[in-house]
Amino acid sequence: MNQTGEKAADFTLYDSAKNTVSLHDFTGKKVVLLFYPLAFTSVCTKELCYVRDNMSLFNNIDAQVLGISVDSLYTLAKFKEEQGYNFPLLSDFNKEVSKSYNALYEEFGFNMKGVSKRASFVIDREGTIRYAQILEKASDFPDFEAIQSTLAAIN
């Protein structure tokens, strides 16, 4: 499920401003889903700051970035405010979306259960997954070059 070439599973989650956001809201637009383990951790902060600092790369090719973690929407609101993120952060507190995208650790560090894996998905305008990368090591960084080249190849 949720592999390259398949239709992306729709979902509805709350963002850090307590608004509902659904994948189908972006039909007709390219979407980048970035699952990440935990707000305020070093690699997650570095990853999302890279996106923030390079948002023009996504905006220039009509791509919407959505960050997803199992953090509460209150934690995400503070994280977004402190870091000045310029894209939605969505709370998958119930872990359903991370699980449906095969991006959920059964067990993470410090005996935490059910934390999002670092994973990235590029979804085309019709809702088909065109790129998927699920990293097993939370310390690894997404392949943003592959994400950008996939986005550029989508009409």
What gap in Å lies between CA 48 and CA 89, rounded to an integer? Answer: 10
Query: 144: exposed, middle or buried (C-beta count within 10 Å: 0-12, 13-18, 19+)?
Result: middle
Tell me if residue 44 is catalytic: yes
**Identified catalytic residue from 21, 32, 44, 132:** 44
Taking CA atoms, 28 is separated from 24, 34, 85, 119, 154, in Å, by 9, 19, 24, 22, 11
Active-site positions read 44
